[in-house]
Amino acid sequence: MNPSYRHLANKIKLLAHPERLRILDAIRREPECVCHLTALLGKP
C-alpha cells in the first residue's frame, strides 16, 4: 500500500469515533467553548 494512503487512512480513523464526530458537527456550525462541548458529550 502506498505510504501516503496509509497515512491518510490513519488520519481518517482518528475522526471516526462517534464522540469526535459529535464535536465536529457542533463546531462546524459555530465556535464552541470546551464547557459547551463537555456538556454536549455528558462529560465532567
CB 40 within 8 A of CB 26: yes
pLDDT at 3: 81
Distance CA 40, CA 10 (A): 26
Distance CA 27, CA 37 (A): 9
DSSP, collapsed to helix, strand or coil, labels residue 1 as coil
- The one-digit pLDDT tens for each residue of the chain (44 residues) are 678 999 999 888 888 888 988 998 999 989 999 999 999 999 88
CB 41 within 8 A of CB 23: yes
